[in-house]
Amino acid sequence: MTTAETRERLYLFDTTLRDGAQTSGIDFSVNEKIVVAELLDRLGVDYVEGGYPGANPTDTEFFETKRTQKARFTAFGMTKRAGRSAANDPGLQQILAADTDACCFVAKAWDYHVKVALGCTNEENLEGIAETVKSAIAAGREAMLDCEHFFDGYRANPEYALACAKTAYDAGARWVVLCDTNGGMLPDDIREIVSEVIKVVPGDHLGIHTHDDTGHAVANSLAAVDTGVRQIQGTLNGIGERCGNANMISLIPTLLLKSAYSERFEIGVTTQKLSEITSISHAFDEIINRSPDRHAPYVGETAFATKAGIHASAILKDPATYEHVTPESVGNRRRVLVSDQAGKSNLLGELNRLGIDVAKTDSRLDRLLAEVKQREAEGYAYEAADASFELLARRTLGEVPNFFDVKSFRVMVERRFNAMGELTTMSEAVVKLDIDGESRMSVAEGNGPVNALDKALRKDLGKYQLAIDGLELVDYKVRILNGGTEAVTRVLIESHDKASHRRWFTIGVSSNIVDASFQALVDSINFALMTAKVG
Amino acid sequence: MTTAETRERLYLFDTTLRDGAQTSGIDFSVNEKIVVAELLDRLGVDYVEGGYPGANPTDTEFFETKRTQKARFTAFGMTKRAGRSAANDPGLQQILAADTDACCFVAKAWDYHVKVALGCTNEENLEGIAETVKSAIAAGREAMLDCEHFFDGYRANPEYALACAKTAYDAGARWVVLCDTNGGMLPDDIREIVSEVIKVVPGDHLGIHTHDDTGHAVANSLAAVDTGVRQIQGTLNGIGERCGNANMISLIPTLLLKSAYSERFEIGVTTQKLSEITSISHAFDEIINRSPDRHAPYVGETAFATKAGIHASAILKDPATYEHVTPESVGNRRRVLVSDQAGKSNLLGELNRLGIDVAKTDSRLDRLLAEVKQREAEGYAYEAADASFELLARRTLGEVPNFFDVKSFRVMVERRFNAMGELTTMSEAVVKLDIDGESRMSVAEGNGPVNALDKALRKDLGKYQLAIDGLELVDYKVRILNGGTEAVTRVLIESHDKASHRRWFTIGVSSNIVDASFQALVDSINFALMTAKVG
């Protein structure tokens, strides 16, 4: 048994917010970047690469302040241009001006691209690498270099590719990252080429950056580690250009649970955090508004599911011999039969986390479990809607007063030519509710049906009005479950309270999108009132 | 250069219809099995495992006749039970009665499971293997054995696992297949254990069967081939229990296009067939009613897509240096995504791809570029909405007739107690439009405002009605851009035409979600009419 002291440190470098942002269809807002950086920081990766300051307004704003506590906050950018000094390269200076711990520069390592894409000489490119790395170090940053097209470049001109890597290392780069930019390498290629590189740059200064174009991004990363590399670059859920980058969510469990790695290496992610990786993966999918991959390794809904068949009864006898790791270790669960025992202790854990103290034998716990299961079967996803979950839990435990009753609502959206001959769209909502037996009816216009309903709902809440004054809807996400005529709509609403700076998520599910939205709005207001302890 | 004569034959064994049928949510009908078997036969795999005759009525009916022309049609089943002869085992006799070329039997290779799941002795299990293989050969079939839990079994008791493999081989089995049933092995485990097996069973009699629980199903299959195994089992699009089986659609291009394999091995799939693999993959998704994985290696919609950025202009100069294989070789295509960074040459490339011929100097091109940039600044994302892009492009170039004019719409959603005292939600939409100067007004109810609008819009399109008959809305995605009071809603709609099996995406952007949805609906119908060349 190897102890922590004798294990080597393996570093995780997350590029979800930089290379992951190259995924078609994904455009992070500044706020989403902040949320993802916090998520990664809590997960325990060593580096969070946040983007390319100066390249676009989003990244420039995101880099105005350091966004991580523990992880090294990293800016990405190009090495300085040929023909000017580092001090006179405005692009480079913008990267150095960002509030970061580290800078990751990208340089061409394939001589063909140096000529065609940069239009400079091989020597100028090497000089750019050296000067850029030195200027980052002089600015107090940890410097690293992504060697773009490293493997293809090595095949074409091994001496030059190695010279790029060695130049960065000699200039003081903490990490020299070997990138399979086109994603075409297989594990044997990685092993063969890395074992040559390691002769000129030590493995504990080498990183690996892979893409999944042949389905080998994870295997290639591990092949590099096997050959001596000590930093892995990857993204949450493997997002990234084309077929994606190496999937951190697949790599981390393998590194922590498979003895070939866990006995040799130590990483920054704890086994405690590992038990949250399923919900982290799903939370990230919610942020990018994508349905979780049901078949994803470790975290997929069916990753520990067995279709009743020749295995099912044997699995119940001794699940361990049918599972390569325990579902609990990655925060997932076994799915074999309709009635499973998994839920109760998970639920207790969640309640404890919320500060709700309830005994394991309390019958209300069974009622809550049944309710959650029933609702999740209908399409609710409480892992993404903490406020709706807390509300449901406290209600079932009898702690939440009935602040108000909605009697009915009506919303109309009309698009037509107005008196001036212009096409306009109007949304109007009417909400009828009772507070303490007194009926109230409000009408409001909005820039859409949900906004109109939100305004009408909050227009006259009587004695509660003050408690929801600072409340605002900051995000709204819609997903169609199933599809076809049986489609069910799931709405997630993110609310923010300007007074307390709290954010919370609520959920609604219905075949009608307006209905689902209204449920989530009502949950949000009830949550605000519950936490304000009014009534 | 190695010639075909000196290359070794590598065999592909497809188990889509047997192990793939264990995928949660997938249930093949007999007719679907027939269609998939034909597809596989034309693709050129060597074996098509069709199911388990006798285990269920579907499989029994499917095996009434041989369903392949070239591929060896294979039945799956268990080895004979302990305590009875092969001739007296009704399960085994049903398998032998099926009209097949080959039989693949599964046997436990982990002594623990022999005891717990079978409840027989290790020797009885070995005798079952030998007798079953011999009886299949006596019945004129090619016999093979799936060694279930082979790798875990080897870790627990290597002598017994090897004895199972050797017993099958000695009894005359053409193939002994090593199964990583729990999917927990990594490539190094595979290499280590296979190199031991190969000492007792020759590699050209060994097969590999992997699962993707750590994301290594493909890498593990290739690691086995590297170590000497000569048959790979996999499924179309990697379907299968839990995280799926080895993905044939990823394996085949690697075997044919990567020199490490193409120079050493010959497979039954031709490079001509390879150029159809993208459409084969998508056709299979149609059969199982699943949206194709946009990021799948080789065949995904974005597998050769680049978001316009630092790479885009260089890619257009020399695509080969940015692509690990050519998109044409796998029947896919290059996509340089249209985005706000798009330049004129990207746009021209996209237009050429759509078959739109326009000169670089044409002033309409500048108008289109300005329009795209203006709209992307407002929140449109054409990279995700190819149909809306094509519509916009052809309209700007003056090619699309004005099929109909929407004069106004109105939609109402109401939730209240009905006459029975139940809370119900009702959605009703009215759409007014002109076709050839004739006014038409339609009203419809739906299970939500968008559904009601969709129905009302398509209720009476006059002379166009026939062209949109097979149209259906299959997915609907909503995104709030910016957030706060300046929020803009972006709606993406995926449509499907049941007649042509085409899928397309349209987009709408507005501060009002209903408005945005309506734009996307109208675009979808216009796209359908444009491609149907009506009017």
Which chain A residues are Cβ-neighbours of B329 within 8 angstroms? none
CATH of the domain at B70: 3.20.20.70
Question: Is the model more confident about A528 or about B417?
Answer: A528
> Is B447's CB within 8 Å of A512's CB?
yes
Q: How confident is the model at residue A484 (pLDDT cuts 50, 70, 90)?
A: very low
Distance from CA of B408 to the nearest CA of A (A): 5
Residues A41 and A112 in one domain: yes
Residues A77 and A226 in one domain: yes
Domain annotation covers residue B410: no
> Is A260's CB within 8 Å of B186's CB?
yes
Domain annotation covers residue A523: no
Q: How confident is the model at residue B482 (pLDDT cuts 50, 70, 90)?
A: low
Sequence-separated (6 or more) residues with CB below 8 Å from residue B456: B409, B429, B430, B431, B442, B443, B444
What is the DSSP code string of B86-106? Answer: GGG-HHHHHHHHS--SEEEEE
Beta-ladder partners of A211: A245
Domain annotation covers residue A156: yes
Sequence-separated (6 or more) residues with CB below 8 Å from residue B21: B27, B28, B51
Which chain B residues are Cβ-neighbours of A476 within 8 angstroms? 478, 480, 489
Task: Determine contact, residues B365/B348, Cβ cutoff 8 Å.
Answer: yes
Boundary of a domain, candidates B335, B352, B380: B380
Q: What is the pLDDT of residues A207-232, one digit of tens each?
A: 999 999 999 999 999 999 999 999 99
Q: What is the pLDDT of residues B149-197, one digit of tens each?
A: 999 999 999 999 999 999 999 999 999 999 999 999 999 999 999 999 9
Question: Is the model more confident about B102 or about B364?
Answer: B102
| pLDDT at residue A341, as a whole number | 39
CB-CB: which of A298, A412, A417 is closest to B410? A412
CB-CB: which of B296, B476, B489 is closest to A448? B489
Boundary of a domain, candidates A339, A359, A379: A339
**pLDDT of A522 over the 90 cut:** yes
> Is B381's CB within 8 Å of A27's CB?
yes
**For B417, phi and psi rounded to 5 degrees?**
-80, 130
Q: Would strands B47-51 and A102-108 be described as parallel, antiparallel, or unpaired?
A: unpaired
What is the DSSP code string of A236-261? Answer: GGG--STT-B-BHHHHHHHHHHSHHH
Q: How confident is the model at residue A377 (pLDDT cuts 50, 70, 90)?
A: confident
Domain annotation covers residue A314: yes
Three-class secondary structure assignment of B137-199: HHCCCEEEEEEECHHHHHHHCHHHHHHHHHHHHHCCCCEEEEECCCCCCCHHHHHHHHHHHCC
Domain annotation covers residue B20: yes
pTM of the prediction?
0.76
Which chain A residues are Cβ-neighbours of B215 within 8 angstroms? 218-219, 247, 250, 254, 297
Domain annotation covers residue B256: yes
Q: How confident is the model at residue B347 (pLDDT cuts 50, 70, 90)?
A: confident
Distance from CA of B63 to the nearest CA of A (A): 20
Q: What is the pLDDT of residues A401-460, one digit of tens each?
A: 999 999 999 999 999 888 888 889 999 999 999 999 999 999 999 989 999 999 999 999
Residues A245 and A320 in one domain: no
Reading phi first (left if > 0) and then psi (alpha if -120 to 50, else beta), residue B236 is in beta
CB contacts < 8 Å between A and B, how many?
297
What is the SS3 assignment for B379? Answer: coil
Number of domains into which chain B is organized: 2
> Cα separation of A372 and A507, whole Å?
13
Find tokens 């109230």 and name the residue.
A440
Distance from CA of A305 to the nearest CA of B (A): 6
Residues B243 and B340 in one domain: no
Q: What is the pLDDT of residues A28-58, one digit of tens each?
A: 988 899 999 999 999 999 999 999 998 888 8
> Is A309's CB within 8 Å of B22's CB?
yes
> Is B324's CB within 8 Å of A184's CB?
yes
Angle at which helices A363-378 and A386-396 cross, to 10°: 140
Which chain B residues are Cβ-neighbours of A296 within 8 angstroms? 243
> Is B480's CB within 8 Å of A475's CB?
yes
Q: What is the pLDDT of residues B348-369, one digit of tens each?
A: 878 888 888 888 888 888 889 8
Which chain A residues are Cβ-neighbours of B216 within 8 angstroms? 218-219
> Cα separation of A280 and A274, whole Å?
9
Q: What is the pLDDT of residues A119-174, one digit of tens each?
A: 899 999 999 999 999 999 999 999 999 999 999 999 999 999 999 999 999 999 99
CB-CB: which of A184, A322, A479 is closest to B182? A322
**pLDDT of B223 over the 70 cut:** yes
Residues B192 and B334 in one domain: no
CB-CB: which of A116, A242, A414 is closest to B314? A116
Q: What is the ipTM of this complex?
A: 0.77
What is the DSSP code string of A468-498? Answer: GTTEEEEEEEEEEES-GGG-EEEEEEEEEET
CB-CB: which of A215, A258, A294 is closest to B297? A215
**pLDDT of A535 over the 80 cut:** no
Boundary of a domain, candidates A399, A427, A456: A456
> Is A324's CB within 8 Å of B113's CB?
no
> Is A449's CB within 8 Å of B450's CB?
no
Residues B333 and B243 in one domain: no
> Cα separation of B92 and B70, whole Å?
25
CB-CB: which of A254, A483, A518 is closest to B475? A483
Residues A248 and A304 in one domain: no
Q: What is the pLDDT of residues A307-352, one digit of tens each?
A: 645 555 566 667 778 899 999 999 998 865 333 334 676 677 778 8
Q: Would strands B488-497 and B471-481 be described as parallel, antiparallel, or unpaired?
A: antiparallel
> Cα separation of A334 and A304, whole Å?
5
> Is B324's CB within 8 Å of A243's CB?
no
| pLDDT at residue A296, as a whole number | 97
* Domain that includes residue B326, residue range: 305-380
> Is B415's CB within 8 Å of A409's CB?
yes
| CA A40, A41, A47, A52 torsion-angle sign | positive
| pLDDT at residue A338, as a whole number | 33
| pLDDT at residue A385, as a whole number | 85
> Is A324's CB within 8 Å of B213's CB?
yes
Give the 3-state secondary structure percentages of chain B, helix then strand then coil, rounded to 5: 45, 25, 35
Residues A257 and A317 in one domain: no
DSSP A306: -
> Cα separation of A326 and A257, whole Å?
10
How long is chain B? 535
Please state the rounded mean pLDDT for residues A109-115. Answer: 94
Mutate to test the interface with A, among B415, B430, B507 (most CBs of A within 10 A): B415
Residues A116 and A206 in one domain: yes
Which chain B residues are Cβ-neighbours of A113 within 8 angstroms? 314, 321
CB-CB: which of A24, A238, A513 is closest to B449? A513
Task: Determine contact, residues B448/A511, Cβ cutoff 8 Å.
Answer: yes
Domain annotation covers residue A497: no
DSSP B245: B
Domain annotation covers residue A379: no
